[in-house]
Structure 1
Amino acid sequence: MTRIIHMETLKPKFSYTTDEIVEAACNSWLLKADELTRRKALKIFKGSQIDVRNAVVPLDIAFGELSFEQKNNIYKEEMVKYGVELLSNAISSSGIDPKEIDYIITTSCTGFMIPSVDAYLVNELGLRKDVVRLPVTEMGCAGGTAGLIYANDFLKANPDKTAVLLTMEIPSITFQRDDFSAENLVSTAIFSDGFACAILKGGEGRGAHIVDTDMYHFHGGTHLMGFNLVNSGLKIVLDKEVPNAIEGHFESIFLPFLKRNGLQIDDIQHYMFHPGGKKIINMVQDYISDYGKDISESKWVLNNHGNMSSATILHIFDRVNTARDIKTGDMGYMLAFGPGFMAQSLILKWENE
């Protein structure tokens, strides 16, 4: 069985309140918008249920006139810098030796790097020459759950080995300055830069054990979420029907997976849902609260960090692990959605001894 033995999160250099971002937007980006668009943007920002967002660059650069090349150069430089710091911190905090790492998975959808960031980490941190690398680049917000699933598959086959998963997202540099569509307004209001690293081992022992995993695909949903590659960079695709699509499929994703493992909703103590935005998180909260359950840690992460794409679900796990009294035998359910359209789930069981 695979177990998560350590979770490390890393906060980007710059943090801004919603009021600070709104002020910066009104003094730069929104100056070119008509009055109706400005009012709409401010309503989306202030109604997002997000108090703080983080970024690797200051707001004047995030809202500046950058070419695609300039944006992607920022992405490459910051990915290596934050990747080295994140993995170094995770190694130090967990007490593992870098030479123990057999498998390194990296997830990101907010820029392009060839070679991928994991190649730089192998060199910078002196990982073994035979370390297995898996960059996951096109899973969007589901990249964190996907990475855990891929690590689980590897460690089930190799129970004596160690895997690390780094989720690294910089959506601040995907901002489209000349786009005042509803999609870009929502994207600018909810997304935030973020980084997290999970260390996983095979076999028995302390940690959050992965009991089972599942991937669920929405047929005919490729138009719902993603990026279009345009001359100014990555332009968000975020269909207004996403919340309705999730609500329509939610029980089909959720209940059969629990049943397959002989579980019911009441058997799960800790629910961890990726908060794609206010509508989605409120829908899930309304559903789960009918069973006396809550997703307070998911809401806390959205409120204090925003939507960090693939890094969000790992931040939620870290928040649950540190803010709650986790007992041996406690069960967890983790769910995230991503382009395709798809949902990815994991069931966890904690062992503290």
Structure 2
Amino acid sequence: MNVKITTVSKLLPQYSRTTAEIIPFLDAWLTGQDDRFVRKVKKIFEGAAVDKRYSIMSPEEVFSNASFEERNNIYIREGIKLSSQCLREALEKATWQAHDLDYLITVSCTGLMIPSMDAYLINALNLKPDIVRLPVTEMGCAAGISGIIYAKNFLKANPGKRAAVIAYESPTATFQTADFSMANMVSAAIFGDGVACALLSSREEDRGPEIIAEEMYHFYDATRMMGFDLVNTGLQMVLDVAVPERIAQHFPNIIHPFLAKNNLMIADIDHLIFHPGGKKIIQTVEGLFDKLGKNINETKNILKEYGNMSSATVLYVLERFMERPAGSAELGLMLSFGPGFSAQRILLKW
């Protein structure tokens, strides 16, 4: 019995701006700051390898002094709307009915809501009353792959079932206007908002790349490398400048033993489906893979076109590969990094 990813669908919020269009908002926001600091922040935005980013809020709202409550209410309102529509579109794409779903996983780390998103989706789409649901709320950028791993394990134990993983993130809702740390500047420059949905199946008749292996990898003593602090004004970014270096140090142990367990080497992998954490992480990973004759061009393209949308981003990359005509027995390696610090890996076979 095989578990397959049958469909991936994405949806973007209504607001968008190019990096050039964001610069005037920086001037207004950074009024009173040292000129050298302002120039440095602009260079961070211009050099982030992000041409455009989308948001659930207008730029005026993002750079306003809106309270945590106001921002979180927008996160909830827009999240329910976008996630519901993205799930509907994924079901239509797969020609499934809402009642075909047996397992629902919702993924997000950029806002707070109880009940969680999955409860609202059950009502919005009239999903069946005995659907199993799982909210994944605190795994950050890694959670898109984490959600797929959890869905795969459920489907492996329950043949003939179908699952949906919906990743919704709004990093702009966490933006801190009174925080002038480099962590806040870098995160503002690279992050954007988006939602994506992956449908998985253990039914024999459903098609798509098969998940043939999955594994998590945890860095010891690295809990302050990435994440959020909950402060009075909301979720404040924690981002260590050493993240790319630490990834590079662990990279051989993340990749090669995982492939070896499946009697593979990196030369056997046809598609690298990597989460674009940011320009420096991409440069680090690209440098490691260039030596092996591989590229992560789609990862770079997604960062350029949308920015880092946290957990949803790797599904945007996966969609690009799902839309390509697949050859026989092609292999893909999915990889994402997130708070903890951790790496999540999935091996796919077309």
SS at match of 1:96: coil
Residues 82-117 of structure 1, C-alpha deviation per residue, up to 9 Å, x if partnerless? 111111111112110111100000000000000011
Deviations 1:211-236 (A, max 9, x none): 10010000000010100001110000
- AA matched with 1:20: E
Tell me if the contact between 1:105 and 1:118 (Cα under 8 Å) persists in the aligned partners. yes
Alpha-carbon contact 1:274-1:337 (below 8 Å) kept? yes
SS in 2 for 1:88: helix
**Which residue of 2 is the match for residue 15 of structure 1?**
16
Q: Deviations over 1:162-186 (max 9, x none)?
A: 0000000011110000111100000
| Distance in structure 2 (CA, Å) of the matches to 1:66 and 1:135 | 27
Whichever residue aligns with residue 210 of structure 2, its letter is H
Do the aligned residues in 1 keep the contact of 2:162 with 2:203 (CA within 8 Å)?
Answer: no
C-alpha separation in 2, matches of 1:94 and 1:173: 31
8 Å contact kept, 2:30–2:38:
yes
- Counterpart amino acid of 1:347? L
Map Cα deviations across residues 43-74 of structure 1 (whole Å, 9 max, x no partner).
Answer: 11011111010111110001111111111111
State whether residues 105 and 166 of structure 1, in contact with CA within 8 Å, keep that contact through their aligned partners in structure 2.
Answer: yes
Whether 1:65 and 2:99 are equivalent positions in the alignment is no
Contact map agreement 1:12 1:55 (CA 8 A) in 2: yes
Residue segments in structure 2 that go unaligned for 5+ positions in a row: none
Superposed displacement of residue 35, structure 1: 1.1
* 1:89-147 deviations in Å (ceiling 9; x for gaps): 11112110111100000000000000011101101110000000100000000010100
TM-score, structure 2 normalization? 0.98
**Aligned counterpart, 2:238:** 237
User: What pairs up with 1:77-92 in 2 under 5 angstroms?
Assistant: 77-92=77-92
1:310 is matched with 311
1:37 and 1:180 in contact (8 A); partners too: no
User: SS state of the match for residue 207, structure 1?
Assistant: coil
* Mapped partners of 2:151, 2:318: distance in 1: 16
The 3-state SS of whatever aligns with 1:5 is: strand
Does the 8 A contact of 2:26 with 2:42 survive in 1?
A: no
Q: Which residue identity is paired with 2:96?
A: I
Check if 1:281 corresponds to 2:276.
no
What does residue 94 of structure 2 align with?
Answer: 94
Question: 1:291 Cα deviation (Å)?
Answer: 1.9
The residue aligned with 1:254 is 255
Counterpart contact for 2:145–2:314, Cα < 8 Å = yes
Answer with 81-90 or 129-138: which moved more.
81-90
- Cα distance in 1, alignment partners of residues 282 and 203 from structure 2: 34
Matched to 1:54, the amino acid is: Y
Instruction: Summarize the Cα distance change of 1:32–1:232 in structure 2 as closer, same or farther, 3 Å threshold.
Output: farther
- Matched position secondary structure for 1:214: strand
Once residues 50 and 140 of structure 2 are traced to their aligned partners in structure 1, the CA distance between those partners, rounded to angstroms, is 20
Q: Hey, what does 2:199 align to over in structure 1?
A: 199
Amino acid at match of 2:286: Q
Once the 2 structures are TM-superposed, how far is the Cα of residue 203 of structure 1 from its aligned partner?
4.4
Question: For residues 251-298 of structure 1, what are the alpha-carbon distances to aligned partners after superposition, in whole Å with 9 as ceiling and x for unaligned?
Answer: 100000000000011110000111111111011111112222111100
Is structure 2 residue 142 aligned with structure 1 residue 142? yes
Correspondence list, 1:28-177, <5 A: 28-177=28-177
- Does the CA contact (< 8 Å) of 1:16 and 1:53 recur in 2? yes
Question: 2 CA distance for matches of 1:212 and 1:203?
Answer: 18
SS in 2 for 1:134: strand
User: Contact (CA 8 Å) 1:271, 1:334: kept in 2 or not?
Assistant: yes
**Displacement after TM superposition at 1:325 (Å):** 3.7
Runs of 4+ in 1 over 6 A off after TM superposition: none
- Which whole-Å CA distance do the structure 2 matches of 1:212 and 1:342 have between them? 17
Aligned equivalent of 2:273: 272
Shift of 1:36: 1.9
Instruction: State the alpha-carbon separation in 2 of the partners of residues 297 and 242 from structure 1.
Output: 21
Number of matched residues? 348
**Are the equivalent residues in 2 in contact too, given 1:33–1:180 (CA < 8 A)?**
no
* Match of residue 184 from structure 2: 184
Separation in structure 1 between the aligned mates of residue 31 and residue 3 of structure 2, nearest angstrom: 52
Q: Structure 1 length normalisation: TM-score?
A: 0.97
CA contact (8 A) 2:56 2:75 kept: no
CA distance in 2, matches of 1:226, 1:284: 21
Letter in 2 for 1:233: G
1:225 maps to which residue? 226
Looking at structure 2, the residues matched to 264 and 13 of structure 1 have their Cα atoms a distance apart, in angstroms, of 42
Aligned 8 A contact 1:156 1:202 in 2: yes
